[in-house]
Structure 1
């Protein structure tokens, strides 16, 4: 085959078979991490051969996704389960370092931030209950800096009070989203079952709890919002998954990626959603890398490329809670050897087998081979996308491992 020019020009990219829009069509609108307008703009730049334009948009988007702060306010009456709710969301126990204190009586207007241990841009703010203050709702919101939060979650373990209803109304007037969460429904169900063992019906009791909350709004002549029934100690049950879906959909699109990565792996659907967030981000990174490779040197594999791939694998394992530290905690909780858990999964040894070492070596050698046959442009394109698909393979393996361990833990409950 004939030799191509050793240095690709930007015009050479015009006829490459890329379609940004086509890739993102497989993701539902509510879980896309970039907007349709942005997808179209990038696709248009690529079709026109405007690499600088496409590269600039992608770079800006990746930077915003990485650094955009997500601030979630949690408020409600003392004893309503706020602290337990926050701990459940950040995935730590009440006795762990950085946990929200459970059972603390509120006496001040101080708001307390709780950083997510894995997603540094995500902060949950424990706000004092409006009922503990002598402020009207509007003044309360100003005092706790309402403008800083993406949305509010109002938590109650019983009936929503008049003050909480007024607070919800004030939040709506100030053009912020709020969500009403009724906690401790597992306790209500257990009590109902104990006192009425012969006529107890789970779904009927849940319906009564929901109706009781709805009537609180109807009696106050207020529009009835969606009310989520949850247990802080059994997140996979009741309305918690629906609440998370709702929050993702309502968040600004560029903040969805990190929020989806933060959520606990309580259902297979939640695990799949995290997978989709990672896949989209990796796709954007691959395009950015390719567009930077307008000179051959940018596409040459380096000695540390294998280490970068290992780092990616370890990062995915951490995000899905199946890294070595997480497995140690899980083994301790279930009183089994950590080696027993590793027997069920593949990712800990994914890069230790001879087959995978050969695969990585082939990846690093592929550039020279294709450079000789097809020229730099095709070689760079092949190398970058082989790397992308290998990372995709990693995250899919980790995703399956997370599902296997979820099934295992559910079987032990």
Structure 2
């Protein structure tokens, strides 16, 4: 117990660390990286010079920044367009859930209203009053809603774009902020068109006409059209909602991508995989930071490690929506017993039989799979602490659980 694999020299360890670190982040798509290239270059430079402490410090600060940096999203548009429903969709909550944006038949937004994401506390969605209301005349709108605080604006529309909204779009662009036009309720438009013209109905043609209407409106007002996303707040996996999410992630600064990705609802398997890849980056970074000794015990897991692993597993279950509370909500919505859902997944039972033997077996089983899949860290002599390999196992398990539930519900 307490024995270690590695007996390489400090310089050899640094070389292996630099090589593994560089290789891992080169394999990560640029638009998905949660650490900026500047920070990656700084870490590599420290490792090249054998400055383990310096590399450790840069990684620690980068992870702290990712955890703490705020994300503020402004949602505005005409009354009845579905602003509140879109906010709830982005937060993954229903209209009657605690903390949900109020969905009503009368105007409910007379001031800017913040909604904290239930799982990602650094993410705030702001429901803004429609431009041109009594308290928010066009000339004062951006100043009154504190435009400088937001990372980007989502302008929601369900009919034609008005002159006021065109002016708002122009002002946002002038202030050098990103904005996106989201056309909601397209499912209703398609249903209406199909009822009116059952013989000639063409789904793609109708969607193209809706999009073209907005593009033409911008063109007629001598403005470049923004990216336009056709969505249904009722059926998120259909239409452009997944594309909207991909676009927002890509356009956010690297250090804000991670928490935003984790905030997104599990509407497709691709969205779940994206969360997994983002979480992998944080685990890898933590492992490099904590495992710069390039060693791992052959056997033995400390009691403190067991408790930390429990916390990690529960945290991952919450983020991927497979925790007990999420299962209760899912069971209620789908009208199936929660016990039936629990039988479909594995993560609640990973640590059910506690003790060193069980965790050791998990570790050895996953270590072989991990080495086979990566062909890198173990082959080059870089070893993380045992607890990090188990975190990768937890991540893979909750990811698969989320996919299983998505297919069933």
When normalised by structure 2's length, the TM-score is: 0.88
What is residue 344 of structure 1 aligned with on the other side?
A: 344
Question: Is 2:234 the counterpart of 1:243?
Answer: no
- Pairwise CA distance, 1:15: 4.2
Give the direction of change, closer, same or farther, for the CA distance of 1:138–1:26 in structure 2 (3 Å limit). Answer: farther
**Cα deviation code 1:286-341 (max 9, x no counterpart):** 112124x6999xxx964221111121111111111111111111112222111211
Alignment of 1:239-388 (within 5 A): 239-291=240-292, 302-353=302-353, 358-361=357-360, 384-388=384-388
**Cα shift readout 1:46-102 (whole Å, capped 9, x = no counterpart):** 121112221121111011100000000000011110000001111111111111111
Q: Which residue number corresponds to residue 83 of structure 2? A: 82
Give how far 1:115 is off.
Answer: 0.2
SS of the residue 1:401 aligns to: helix
Q: Which residue of 2 aligns with 1:175?
A: 176
Distance change >3 Å, CA 21–CA 8, structure 1 → 2 = closer
Cα deviation code 1:156-202 (max 9, x no counterpart): 11111111111011001101000000000011111111111121111
Mean alpha-carbon deviation: is it higher for 173-182 or for 385-394?
385-394
What CA RMSD, in Å, does the superposition of the two structures yield over aligned residues? Answer: 2.9
Instruction: Find the aligned partners of 1:175 and 1:28 in 2 and give their Cα distance.
Output: 26
Task: Report how many aligned residue pairs link the two structures.
Answer: 388
- Which consecutive unaligned segments of at least 5 residues does structure 1 have? 366-377
Does the aligned pair in 1 maintain the 2:317–2:323 contact within 8 Å? yes
Match of 1:27 in 2: 28
Deviations 1:249-271 (A, max 9, x none): 11111000000000001001100
Mapped partners of 1:138, 1:394: distance in 2: 52
CA contact (8 A) 1:137 1:170 kept: no
Q: Give 1:388 shift.
A: 1.4
Alpha-carbon shift at residue 137 of structure 1 (Å): 4.0
Is the contact between residue 114 and residue 124 of structure 1 (CA under 8 Å) also seen in structure 2?
Answer: yes
Q: Is the 8 A contact 2:295 2:384 kept in 1?
A: no
Gaps of 5+ in 2: 365-377
Which stretch of structure 1 is more off in the superposition, 236-245 or 332-341? 332-341
Q: Distance in 2 between matches of 1:320 and 1:124?
A: 20
Matched, 1:91 2:92: yes
For the residues of structure 2 that align with 1:46 and 1:17, how far apart are their CA atoms?
7
For the residues of structure 2 that align with 1:156 and 1:11, how far apart are their CA atoms?
59
